[in-house]
Amino acid sequence: MMRSPRTVPWAFVAPAAVLTLLLLLGPSLLGGLSAFTDWDGLTAPSWVGLANFGEFFGEGSHVVAQTLVLAALYVVGVNAVGLGLALGLARTLRTRHVLRALFLVPAVVSPLVVAYIWKFILDVDGPLNELLEGTGLASFAQPWLGQRNTALVAVVIVMIWQFSGYHMLIYLAGVQSVQDELLEAAHVDGAGPWRRFRDITLPLLRPAVAIGTALSTISAFMLFDQVMALTGGGPAGGTDTLGTYVYKQAFVNGRYGYSAAVALLLVAGVCLAALVQVRGLRGRRA
């Protein structure tokens, strides 16, 4: 009996598909179902329907607002810095290869390592405040991670510092694809640096901008390590994001059903943001 040519490929795919179903999709589906229950991880779960979602929109709105503010600051900041670095290190500077490597180093280091280094720097008695006091700027010294009006900004700055080199590479590929002839022709026609950037370079960088924006948006929504290492979500929940909120509700408060509901909303938000970015990228290509 002869087998169909399609039988052999499925025979190779089947073991991986079964493992994926058992180890990834199955637990994910069970976790999604627990979002509709009141479960503490010890007793039998009880079905509560949409109550967990309603409770979150009632008491967790500040976490959503903080996540959106952090995401907006990070997306704008990291893409602006990355684009600036790419433009500055694109062609003319002799040491550009060394500088590119130096700017990329933080991106390949563990976020926890970077966060703990910056936590030491931004500590009340850390090097930053000592530097300000030593240069006669003691009035500017403050607990950067211990007050609400600076802690969230400090987290964003640390993230931008770490990942701007990664976004530099994205924009560098786009900048190097811009033909010199176009820029030279615009220069001959009397266009200044800003005019050449606005009318030639930036439109040709739209695919890179879409990719950089999509990646940074997803990273911002999934943020967890840096916040937990720098502030632990404090002070008084002032830097809590959706990721840290899910962790605290599950492993600190023991509200696994409620945390699963918030995690489900987080996944939906990330998927929606990614879908919008992908559709925007396709539209620009068209």
Predicted local confidence at residue 224, as pLDDT: 92
Provide the pLDDT confidence category of residue 31 given band limits of 50, 70 and 90: confident
pLDDT band per the 50, 70, 90 thresholds, residue 3 = low
Residue 64 has pLDDT above 80, yes or no: yes
pLDDT at 272: 85
Grouping H, G, I as helix, E, B as strand and the rest as coil, residue 269 is: helix
Name 37's bridge partners.
Answer: 47
Average pLDDT over residues 241-259: 91
Cα–Cα distance between 43 and 54 in angstroms, integer?
23
Low-confidence winner among 28-32, 68-72, 244-248 (lowest mean pLDDT): 28-32
Does residue 7 have a pLDDT over 70? no
Residue type (1 letter), 232: G
* pLDDT exceeds 70 at position 127: yes
Residue 219 has pLDDT above 80, yes or no: yes
Considering only residues 218 and 81, tell me which one the structure prediction assigns the higher pLDDT: 81
- Helix locations, the chain, DSSP H: 7-20, 26-34, 51-59, 61-88, 96-104, 111-121, 127-134, 148-176, 180-188, 193-196, 202-204, 206-221, 225-230, 242-247, 256-285
Instruction: Residue 75: name the closest of 203, 197, 223, 229 by CA.
Output: 223
Lowest-confidence range among 30-34, 65-69, 91-95, 119-123?
A: 91-95
**Residue 283, exposed/middle/buried by CB under 10 A (0-12, 13-18, 19+)?**
exposed
| CA 67 to mean position of chain CA atoms | 11
**CA-CA distances (angstroms) from residue 198 to 112, 188, 189, 195?**
38, 16, 15, 5
Q: Using the predicted structure, report yes or no on whether residue 120 has a pLDDT greater than 90.
A: yes
Residue 14 banded pLDDT, cuts 50, 70, 90:
confident
Rounded Cα–Cα distance for residues 227 and 36 (Å):
28
Looking at the predicted structure, is the pLDDT value of residue 71 above 60? yes
With a cut of 80, say whether residue 197 has pLDDT above it: yes
- At 193 the three-state DSSP class reads helix
pLDDT tens profile 233-244: 988 888 999 999
The yes-or-no verdict on residue 83 having pLDDT over 90 is yes
d(CA 141, CA 86): 33
Structure tokens at 40: 């503490």
Position 126 pLDDT exceeds 50 = yes
Averaged confidence pLDDT in the chain:
87
Q: How confident is the model at residue 283 (pLDDT cuts 50, 70, 90)?
A: low
Q: Which domains does the chain have, with CATH numbers?
A: 66-240 (1.10.3720.10)
What is residue 160's predicted lDDT score, i.e. its pLDDT? 96
Question: Per-residue confidence at 207, pLDDT binned at 50, 70, 90?
Answer: confident
Highest mean pLDDT among 70-84, 168-182, 255-269: 70-84
- Give residue 123's identity as a one-letter amino acid code: D
Cβ atoms < 10 Å from Cβ of 143: 15
Q: How far is CA 175 from CA 37, 100, 115, 224, in A?
A: 51, 14, 31, 32
pLDDT at residue 241, rounded to an integer: 92
Residue 1's pLDDT band (boundaries 50, 70, 90)?
very low
